[in-house]
Amino acid sequence: MSNTPTITSDYQESIESYRQLITSTGEDLERPGLGDTPMRAAKAFAHLTKGYHQSLDKVVNDALFPSTNRELVLVQNIEFYSLCEHHMLPFHGIAHVGYLPNGQVLGLSKFARIVDMFARRLQVQENLSEQVAQTIMDVTGCRGVAVVMDASHMCMMMRGVSKQHTTTRTTAMLGEFVHDNQARMEFLSAIPRRQPAF
Ligand SMILES: [Zn+2]
């Protein structure tokens, strides 16, 4: 699972699937321009779903450090790109992650890596927010985690209701953020206002 797929073996099934998909539109796979498209698309899809092959241990990489700080740590404006599991169309946006340390802190870049690990899968935004929050809770043993994600969904913009300016905000709160209104308000007032669609 953890090995990087090679073009010759692991991509073969995916390449064949893309060949069939392109052919199903009536396109001519032999025409110039499409020759390497199935292979390129297979590689791109592997990248967009590489979160399935990442291990949390490797992502965190022992970047936990002792700390007496118990106040809110906020990592904001983490951009992410994902694929909705209903249409396999992209959704993308910004994540804000806050947590209340309990004796140790996690290296700051790891929050972005954890967001990516779960975003690079077939997802729904609601679950993505929860998975990021729960993972940070489990990894750090902190007192609480708050995650807010604002995203634009191509399945709403390019098809269906075709709304170009709609954004979706999802929230996941764990630990002290669940019942401590002061902690919630501190987090929610510190993060940027809802992002416009882009
Ligand atoms: Zn969708």
Q: Where do the structural domains in the chain lie, given as residue ranges?
A: 12-48, 56-190
Distance CA 82, CA 133 (A): 17
Catalytic site residue 142? no
Q: Does domain 56-190 have CATH number 3.30.750.24?
A: no
Ligand 1 centroid – CA 69 distance (Å): 40
Burial class (CB in 10 A: 0-12, 13-18, 19+), 74: middle
Distance 159 CA to ligand 1 centre (A): 9
Task: Kindly list the averaged pLDDT for each block of 10 residues, start to end, along the chain of length 198.
Answer: 53 96 97 95 97 95 96 97 97 97 97 98 98 98 98 92 88 97 96 70
* Residues ≥6 apart with Cβ < 8 Å to 2: 53, 54, 55, 58
**How many CB atoms lie under 10 A from the CB of residue 86?**
11
182 is catalytic: no
User: Of 54, 96, 123, 125, which is the active-site residue?
Assistant: 125
Is the whole model's pTM more than 0.85, yes or no?
yes
Q: Half-sphere exposure of residue 140, counting CA atoms within 13 Å on the CB side?
A: 32
Active site residue 96: no
Active site residue 92: no
